[in-house]
Amino acid sequence: MVKGENIHVREFTLEDAEAILALQKKNRDFFEKFSMARESDYYTIEAQIERIEKFQEDFKQDKDYNFGIFKNDDNRLMGTINLFQVIRGSLQSAYIGYFLDKQNNGKGFTTEAVKLIVEYSFEKLKLHRIEAGVMPHNIGSIRVLEKSGFHKEGIAKKNVKINGKWEDHQVLAIINPLD
């Protein structure tokens, strides 16, 4: 677990399945504006348990790191944040992605979570670079990344298929200052 002033992030356990499902169902329309299409069976407890088991296996294999964003005062799940496509060898890099409950957007929680995961990535995982791709009209997410130390690198044209359409993404990255 990595703890900040208002939130903490930690690896998911099977006990989190119901909270993840509730978060996903509550925010389905909001999250799907910015993510790939999800089948209806994604929104089942069985699917969430399978996801958590895969998260745990990927964590052990140093492939992907999936965390929940929890509020410190009541330990409520507010969102998710992950490092994915971890590459070792001469690159030492990963991509970052996150979702926060719509009602908690704009309150600094995502920025705090990103800063915590960046610190964890550089200090514990010894990554050199973390990259993010954000749809250019998602100004809030771009601001989160810039406030967390990421810099803009360019536009990846038709980079990710979202809701059946290939979308451009603003590429942002942060480099480990210790390297």
Per residue in 26-45, pLDDT (tens digit) is 877 766 666 666 677 878 89
* Antiparallel, parallel or unpaired: β 93-100 and 129-134: parallel
Task: Name the more confident of 165 and 75.
Answer: 75
Superfamily of domain 2-175: Gcn5-related N-acetyltransferase (GNAT) (3.40.630.30)
Mean pLDDT of 7-28: 91
Quickly state the pLDDT bin for 104 (edges 50, 70, 90): confident
175 or 39: which carries more pLDDT confidence? 175
* pLDDT at residue 39, as a whole number: 72
**Alpha-carbon torsion (7, 11, 12, 13), positive or negative:** negative
Residue ranges per structural domain of the chain: 2-175
Q: Count of alpha carbons within 13 Å of 41, Cβ hemisphere only?
A: 5
The string of pLDDT tens digits covering residues 116-152 is 999 999 999 999 999 999 988 889 999 999 999 999 9
The amino acid sitting at 122 is: F
What confidence tier does 8 reach under pLDDT thresholds 50, 70, 90?
very high
Q: What average pLDDT is seen over the chain?
A: 91
Q: Which residues contact 98 (CB under 8 A, 6 or more apart)?
A: 69, 79, 80, 81, 82, 110, 113, 114, 144
- The per-residue pLDDT for 100 is 87
pLDDT at site 155: 93
CA–CA separation, 20 and 162 (whole Å): 21
